[in-house]
Amino acid sequence: MSVPTGDPTLYNDDLAPLPHAKRKWGAFEIFNVWSNDIQSLFGYTLAATLFVSYGLNGWAVMGGIVLAGLIVQGLVNLTGKPSVRYGIPYPVMARASMGVRGAQFPALVRGIVAIFWYGVQTYFASTAIALLITALTGSSGGPMFLGMTVVGWLSYVIVAVFQVGLFLRGIDWITRYLNWAAPMVYVVMIALMVAIWVQAGGGL
């Protein structure tokens, strides 16, 4: 008697429950995921526009960022708790409310959003690198091409290749990088906040 092969779109290594022995994430890793959700160059840019467009002071903007972070954390906890407890991915968990085939729709939407988010984050990160290069070298960035300078395009390719390389290394490498990079974001953010505070004469 042979067991029929399952549908690979419904069950594969990525959709199978993760055994307890392979669940290596703890509170620190989950905190870093949350930090990655709320701390981004796009978010910083949006916060900066609040100063210019609405004339808010620094404390109001910081309060808004903290409130948004708590809301994100609440939603992340709601959607992620079953996965943490039972080791099942979100596309499988969604089958309980949307059906086996219906659950593929939110998974598809998440994939589309991830593609756009990858592009946005890559652009903002490359812009930061391009500004650093031009500031250190005193260069103007070179001629424009499709809306970006040569240095801008070079920075974009560097960031994109780095991310793709990190993805290809697998989740363990991503976890190691996240555990190092996420805390460093707060170190740099606090240092910049103190520097801005001093330059502003102690007032935000």
Contact in structure between 157 and 11 (CB atoms under 8 Å)? no
**How high is the pLDDT of residue 112?**
92
Is pLDDT at 40 greater than 80 in this prediction? Answer: no
Quickly state the pLDDT bin for 204 (edges 50, 70, 90): low
Q: Find the mean pLDDT for residues 134-139.
A: 81
C-alpha to C-alpha distance for 180 and 63, rounded to whole angstroms: 26
Is pLDDT at 1 greater than 60 in this prediction? Answer: no
Is pLDDT at 99 greater than 80 in this prediction? Answer: yes
Q: pLDDT digit string (tens) for 145-198?
A: 788 888 888 899 999 998 888 888 887 888 888 888 888 888 887 887 788 788
Tokens of 13: 């290594």
Task: Give me the residue spans of the domains in the chain.
Answer: 170-203
Max CA distance (Å), the chain: 80
* CA-to-CA separations, 106 to 1, 76, 100, 171, in angstroms, rounded: 37, 15, 12, 22
Q: Kindly tell me the burial class for residue 183, based on how many C-beta atoms sit within 10 Å of its own C-beta (0-12, 13-18, 19 or more).
A: middle
| Predicted TM-score (pTM) above 0.85 | no
* Percent of the residues in the chain that have a pLDDT greater than 70, as a whole number: 88
